[in-house]
Amino acid sequence: MQLTVVEIADIVGGRLEGDERVTLTGAAVIETAGATDITYIDNPRFLKKIGDTRAGALILPDDFSGEAPCPVVRTPYPKLGFARVLAVFYPDKPGRLGVDPRANIGEGAVLGQEVSVGAFVSVGNRASLGDRVCLHPGVSIGDDVVIGDDTTIYPNVTILERCSIGCRVKIHAGSVIGSDGFGFVPNGDSYFKIKHTGTVQIDDDVEIGANNAIDRGSFGRTHLCRGVKTDNLVHVAHNVIVGEDTLLVAQVGIAGSVSIGRHAILAGQAGIGQHITIGDNAIVGPQAGLSKSIGEGAVYSGTLAMPHRLWMRVQGVLRHLPALKKKIDNLEKRLRPEGEDH
């Protein structure tokens, strides 16, 4: 594919400065970009590298005031513009249209137009696939599952019975949607399994990373709302609600019946206790263990989660603890009456 810098400016929604005749065939980071590549800078610290770049064109912030050795596209959001250009240069590879003869299609299943069903895919009875759905090899779709238009399911994903997947969803390799939640009741010295009769609902424009486990509700549903993005190795337990455009980073674990608001961020390895609420725009830091509800816009950090500012103060004190202990020991020794034992 070839794009002129004029076409790239249109894609980015930016303002072009420089030679309009330049044509590009790819995109790369500033350190490796060549004469036919476009790159971007959105951090002022890296603007000094502009003179050294061999890129054919640059996407830069609106307020950049220096000189560049190549055409420049100015935009308020260079990284977003670069991402849009990447999507054009390197589009998702479509699956092979049609149903592979090695796939198994259940009774009463409904397949939309221009679907791609790969080898060794299993589609359950009465399942419904929308238009342009792509199921990569090894996908397993349970009975009565509904999948919306333009959704892509990557290899070896399992979507169990009665789950609902929206439009333009991506589910990456190895994820399991609709497995039973972790529910057992004590029965003497053993445990008796609680039957999970609920479902999972995944709304439009959600992207789920590789090797996620999204459990079905005990009753009712586990619900990932529109625009949610999850990293690899995320676990969402039964009856969790994840609000619109929330991010769940790698190895996040969310216990049952948690409610998370819109635009929240749960950083890597955060652990969320059961039956709590996280407000809109809240942030839970990496490895934080959250055991109580937090409100809108709250920022919590630390393995034992606490308000972020308090956690920062605690971190500042920790490195002084050995010296403080020595001082306290010396004070106790001086104040101790003569002859008194420890």
Q: Which residues are catalytic?
A: 238
Q: Which residue has the tokens 């004590």?
A: 186
Would you state the torsion angle of the CA atoms of residues 24, 27, 30, 35, taken in this order, to the nearest 10 degrees?
A: -30
Would you state the torsion angle of the CA atoms of residues 272, 277, 281, 287, taken in this order, to the nearest 10 degrees?
A: -10
CA dist 281 to 157, 187, 232, 338, Å? 30, 41, 22, 59
Q: Where are the beta strands (DSSP E) in 207-338?
A: 207-208, 213-215, 221-224, 229-230, 235-236, 241-242, 247-248, 253-254, 259-260, 265-266, 271-272, 277-278, 283-284, 289-290, 299-301, 306-307
Q: Is 202 in a helix, a strand, or coil?
A: strand
Instruction: Identify which of 243, 234, 308, 309 has the alpha carbon closest to the alpha carbon of residue 272.
Output: 234
For the record, the structure tokens of 258 come out as 């948690």
Q: How far apart are CA 198 and CA 162, in angstroms?
A: 9
Instruction: Identify which of 246, 210, 208, 211 has the alpha carbon closest to the alpha carbon of residue 225.
Output: 246
For the record, the structure tokens of 122 come out as 């299993």
Instruction: Identify which of 171, 161, 164 has the alpha carbon closest to the alpha carbon of residue 196.
Output: 161
Q: How far apart are CA 311 and CA 289, in angstroms?
A: 13
DSSP bridge partners of 38: 27, 57
Which element (helix H / strand E) includes 80?
Answer: helix 78-89
Cβ-based neighbour number of residue 165 at 10 Å:
26
